[in-house]
Structure 1
Amino acid sequence: MEELPSAVVLEILGRLGDAGDLARCRLACRALRSLSYHVPSVRLRCSPSAAAGSASTSASALPFKTLALNLVSLLAPSLLRLSLAVDPPSSSWDDADLDSDADDLHLAAADFLSRCLPPLAPRLRSLALSDYWAQSCWRRSDALAVISLLCNNLVELEVRNAWLSVNGLRCMPKLTSLTLEFIRLDDENIDRLNECFPSLQVLNLIGVGGLKEPKLHLPQLKKCRWTISSIPLNSTIVAPNLVELEFTSVEPKILILETPSLSDLNLIIVKPSATIVGAEKCLSLRNLRIESFGIPGLARMFGGSQSLKRLEIEIPRRTRTDELYEALSLSDLLRNFPHLDELTVGPEAWFELQKPCNILTSTGYSRCLKKLTVHLEPSDFDIKFMALFLSLCGPLCEVTILFFDSSEAAAREQIVTKCASDFPMVRWKWGTRKKPNRNTL
């Protein structure tokens, strides 16, 4: 390490997972000790159990916020990126083990940020705060007002597990990336977010509550991930430069898209009651992924697309006794998207497509597919159904079969041998993947 250029060593030290690792590096050699005070990036983390343990075993133990303030004062002259986080508690942790009125882990508190940020605010480019929900959920914070007042050069902001007010929020024209995760936001229609973050290019809204009829209107936005539960029912996205969108919801009513540049769309809509207004105007759409109990209805909204080349389908099923709102038919998919080059079928969608009522029966489909990817359990494999799929593939089509890594190796090997012998002209690829958790939606 001592032989490396100082700039390289600083970059390595800035990528350490925690400030504790940085402190240990200071003990390794004199050179590291000197350079450790000039790192451009630092992360300081704490767990609720560690905070409770230090408070109960040592009266002289420093609270987490005090440690953060001390660290900032040491590194302020060089610090460009700061991350302060309370790690999620373990399953055995009881929030009652910490004083319910305490705020020692409430990192989005305005008074704490007012003391922490001034020494480094002029240079700070990235700020990430992950609060402790048990202390932050009932305390509305003016953190956004403090950050927008002090950090005029901030480019990237992440806030998690907090209740945020938009009172006093100022315009931050240099901010290009914003992540709000598990946030209660006092901005029903996202009007203040649109007004104060006009230069956003990347936006992640994950589990943001407090919204009524949100309308994103961000002219510079290029990439967006928006995950909501059952509320709000109506959402609008006006983003002329948006290229990539992932939208997740349980049962929305209306999703309005004014996104003419949209190229990659991932729709995860559990119950298919949604109407997607403007789907037919997404003329640049090339990649579409749909995960829903109502794939056919959602697919029809984008039907006839001349630009769509890659489609992925899956069903967010918890048990295979659940009923689909509409039968999943390969015939319908091919009619809706006649210009597909690549098709990816998830394990639950593959199981559904094999049902007799859903198998392709009509003729006249051109052999167009250049790439087919199937995720499946070996027990769901049917060689006759695979032959039907292969009839839709063009010459030299690449077919990839991905098994769950928990499946038996002997069963996988049997399928590999059968496919290779029955269809020698196909370019086969094989692999494994982890079985997804179907209880996350």
Structure 2
Amino acid sequence: MAEYLPDPLILDILSRLTDSSDIARCQVASKTLNSIAQNVQHINLVCTLSRYLKSRSPEGRHRVTPFKTIFSKLVQKSRRLESISIGVDKALAGIAFDDFEDESDDLFLTDIEFVKDWLPRVCEDLRFLSISDFWVQSCWRKTEVLALISSCCHKLLELEVRNAWLSVDGVNPMLRLTSLTLEFIRLEDEDLNKVNECFPCLQDLNLVGVGGLKDPKIHMLHLKTCLWTVSNAPLSLSIVAPNLIELKLKCIKPKLLVLETPLLSDFYLSLEKASNVRVKEFQNLQNLQLESSSFCYIIDAFPLGNTIKKLKVDLLKSTEPETIRKFDLGALFNVFPNVKSLTLGPRAWSQVETCFCKEGLENQTGMKELTEIMAHLVIDDIDVTLSIIFCILDKCTNLSSVALLIYREVDSSIANKLISRCTVDHPKIRWRWGMWKEGTEDTWLSDDI
């Protein structure tokens, strides 16, 4: 059938295949497809859990083509590659060390000898490279793959490495690299310092679950977006990035947190608590999403200013209940007077109800600029919940849109009563209703009831 289609159309079809194992099958099936497939400019090959299990079974191990062999053949038959992604499926993360009896390296994808065999052939035009290793095989084998990549991939713009123990010895500066992702990587502080030095032009940096760091510091002058999920509890954590616009930072309990990011506009911070916080004033912060078990301490420590227009707040679970008791809606109203959009997570709303029952909102002036609010309700006492909602509406006179998500386990009669009271008592408000449950996506039921 391929013989009757023009070559450019066949190439376009093959280029749209997201799984390069399909391309490998096409090359075997037809000489025409084999020839045209050599012009495909990307390889995306993933070892699935089913393939892995078949390769380990007594009846399948001799019939399953080794994963590295398939990849190598694809590379050998390609004329010009701009993008390569090779890895193992996330489902293989469930393979326990106890289930792994030998010292195989058939899925050790950052193995320097394996990468040496194919990378120099395709490095000239390569713009994107992603290697997601098999942690069971890679975590105890230190690899110098970064040095190899930096020595030959001079046009590389984006690099992703996952599930590996990386060495930074011999890494050369990569001045064209603008995006770097390191996920579930073993590094040390001096290794991260080397990353700062060798990738000076990064604009996008993602560090997820990078272990082994005690006093990590990011110092990048051109960085614009950063995702940093710190899995351990470092002594100190620093980000110096004068051009950073978007930051998502998730950490546990650093003793010292230093942020020098004056141009930050979008900030997501998940932090249990920090003994010492040093932050230069944010000049352009517009959107803030804050999760903490010591909320009042955090907002007191951060010079957040009056620039924030969109605010989302929730409380983390804490083994120290006294750290969250001080949270109340009045603190938000006082610290963020110019917020236009406010979202309260379920634990935040629960604490709002607790504080309201003790102190009310009588002494608070309200967010005069607030036009929309979203809250995740539990409804332990419907009268208390209604009182808070109506009090907020009285205080925030510019509110025009209220979105309320009710916990899925709440009795339907109580939910219906709440909906009826709100819509009848405040018919001019645009109401939206939905349901929430932890671990699932919010479900919206209606608009403008």
Same fold (TM over 0.5): yes
Are positions 1:435 and 2:434 aligned together? no
In structure 2, do the counterparts of structure 1 residues 396 and 318 end up closer, same or farther at CA, with 3 Å as the change threshold? closer
Where do 1:24-423 residues align within 5 Å? 35-47=36-48, 50-55=51-56, 56=58, 57-59=60-62, 61-75=64-78, 77-89=79-91, 93-188=95-190, 190-270=192-272, 272-279=273-280, 281-303=281-303, 305-317=305-317, 322-355=321-354, 356-357=357-358, 359-365=360-366, 367-377=368-378, 382-395=385-398, 397-403=400-406, 412-423=415-426
Report if aligned partners of 1:131, 1:162 keep a CA contact under 8 Å in 2: yes
* Aligned-residue offset at 1:24: 5.2
Distance, in Å, in 2 between the alignment partners of 1:195 and 1:413 is 59
* Aligned-residue offset at 1:29: 8.7
Amino acid paired to 2:293: F
In structure 2, do the counterparts of structure 1 residues 100 and 112 end up closer, same or farther at CA, with 3 Å as the change threshold? same
* Aligned-residue offset at 1:70: 1.1
Distance, in Å, in 2 between the alignment partners of 1:29 and 1:413 is 63
Q: SS where residue 190 of structure 1 aligns? A: helix
Distance, in Å, in 1 between the alignment partners of 2:187 and 2:195 is 10
346-355 or 356-365, which deviates more: 356-365
Distance, in Å, in 1 between the alignment partners of 2:77 and 2:141 is 30
* Aligned-residue offset at 1:413: 4.1
In structure 2, do the counterparts of structure 1 residues 94 and 301 end up closer, same or farther at CA, with 3 Å as the change threshold? closer
Q: SS where residue 190 of structure 2 aligns? A: coil
* Aligned-residue offset at 1:127: 0.7
In structure 2, do the counterparts of structure 1 residues 385 and 173 end up closer, same or farther at CA, with 3 Å as the change threshold? same
TM-score by length of 2: 0.87
Q: SS where residue 206 of structure 2 aligns? A: strand
In structure 2, do the counterparts of structure 1 residues 359 and 168 end up closer, same or farther at CA, with 3 Å as the change threshold? farther
Q: SS where residue 394 of structure 1 aligns? A: coil
CA shift digits 1:124-174 (9 cap, x unpaired): 111111111111111111010011112111111111110001001011111
199-208 or 297-306, which deviates more: 297-306
- What is the count of residue pairs matched by the alignment? 433
Distance, in Å, in 1 between the alignment partners of 2:347 and 2:69 is 51
CA shift digits 1:68-117 (9 cap, x unpaired): 11111122x23211111112346874545545311111111111111121
CA shift digits 1:230-285 (9 cap, x unpaired): 33221111111100001111111211111111011111012x23432125x11211
Report if aligned partners of 2:66, 2:106 keep a CA contact under 8 Å in 1: yes
- Structure 2: gaps spanning 5 or more residues: 441-449
Amino acid paired to 1:273: A
Q: SS where residue 159 of structure 1 aligns? A: strand
Distance, in Å, in 2 between the alignment partners of 1:259 and 1:374 is 30
CA shift digits 1:300-337 (9 cap, x unpaired): 22356121111111012279x95534411111221111
Q: SS where residue 395 of structure 1 aligns? A: coil
In structure 2, do the counterparts of structure 1 residues 239 and 10 end up closer, same or farther at CA, with 3 Å as the change threshold? farther
In structure 2, do the counterparts of structure 1 residues 217 and 52 end up closer, same or farther at CA, with 3 Å as the change threshold? same
In structure 2, do the counterparts of structure 1 residues 8 and 218 end up closer, same or farther at CA, with 3 Å as the change threshold? farther
In structure 2, do the counterparts of structure 1 residues 369 and 392 end up closer, same or farther at CA, with 3 Å as the change threshold? farther
Distance, in Å, in 2 between the alignment partners of 1:376 and 1:34 is 60
Distance, in Å, in 2 between the alignment partners of 1:85 and 1:323 is 45
Identity percentage of aligned residues: 38
397-406 or 218-227, which deviates more: 397-406
9-18 or 181-190, which deviates more: 9-18
* Aligned-residue offset at 1:414: 3.9
Report if aligned partners of 1:303, 1:336 keep a CA contact under 8 Å in 2: no
Q: RMSD value over aligned CA atoms?
A: 3.0
* Aligned-residue offset at 1:373: 1.2
* Aligned-residue offset at 1:188: 3.3
TM-score by length of 1: 0.88
* Aligned-residue offset at 1:295: 1.1
In structure 2, do the counterparts of structure 1 residues 82 and 430 end up closer, same or farther at CA, with 3 Å as the change threshold? same
Q: SS where residue 176 of structure 2 aligns? A: coil
Amino acid paired to 1:232: P
In structure 2, do the counterparts of structure 1 residues 50 and 222 end up closer, same or farther at CA, with 3 Å as the change threshold? same
